Amino acid sequence: MIRKLIVTAALVLAAPVAAHAADCSVDLEGNDAMKFNKSAIEVPKSCKDFTINLKHTGKMARNVMGHNVVVSATSDMSGVNSDGVKAGLPNDYIKPDDARVIAHSKVIGGGETTSVKIPVAKLGAGPYSFFCSFPGHAALMKGTLTVK
């Protein structure tokens, strides 16, 4: 009940900002060269939910060059990633019910798209990161996610 009130209050406060049409989504691309096309994502505080639309612009299969997008606190990224690798492809390289994961998409292959919705109320001061948890990818496929 308290949580609901806080969310409602935040929405009321955010309303004038939202009227300026904050962009509550971003398009992110991953390719066969193991790269995202963005290294930073900004989330407007006025958004209730923020959606990351992920497109795999390559041709390789999801079990070879699969990509997902995972959001966590930057300090949790390494642990989320190593547990995710152990969880394997059937779990989209995310440990089931990992409380450190704020949001994650499924793993997609070349030509596919997916999206993930982040409840902005779950984000605090950060810092947060987004990354791909496919084995070996997070070293290159990562960036910062900042609430503004």
Compute the least distance from the CB of residue 37 to Zn ion, in Å. Answer: 13
**Considering the complex, what minimum distance in angstroms separates the CB of residue 49 from Zn ion?**
24
Q: Which is nearer to Zn ion, 95 or 137 (CB)?
A: 137
Three-state secondary structure call for residue 98: coil
By CB under 5 A, tell whether 132 contacts Zn ion: yes
| Residue from the set 62, 104, 137, 142 that interacts with Zn ion by CB under 5 A | 137
In the complex, residue closest to Zn ion by CB: 132
Told to check if 134 binds Zn ion by CB under 5 A, we report yes
On the 0-12 / 13-18 / 19+ scale of CB atoms within 10 A, 92 is: buried
CB of 119 closer than 8 Å to CB of 52: no
By rule CB under 5 A, what string of x and - marks binding of each residue 67-96 to Zn ion? x-----------------------------
Using the contact rule CB under 5 A, the part of the chain among 86-94, 97-105, 118-126, 133-141 near Zn ion is 133-141
43 vs 108 by CB, closer to Zn ion: 108
| DSSP reduced 3-state for 52 | strand
* Min separation Cβ 93 and Zn ion, Å: 9
DSSP string, 3-30: HHHHHHHHHHHHHHHHTT----EEEEEE
Sign of CA dihedral 90, 94, 96, 101: negative
Q: Supply 60's token pair.
A: 């390789």
- Minimal distance in Å, beta carbon 11 to Zn ion? 35
At which residue do the structure tokens 């070349």 appear? Answer: 110
Residues that bind Zn ion (CB under 5 A): 67, 132, 134, 137, 141
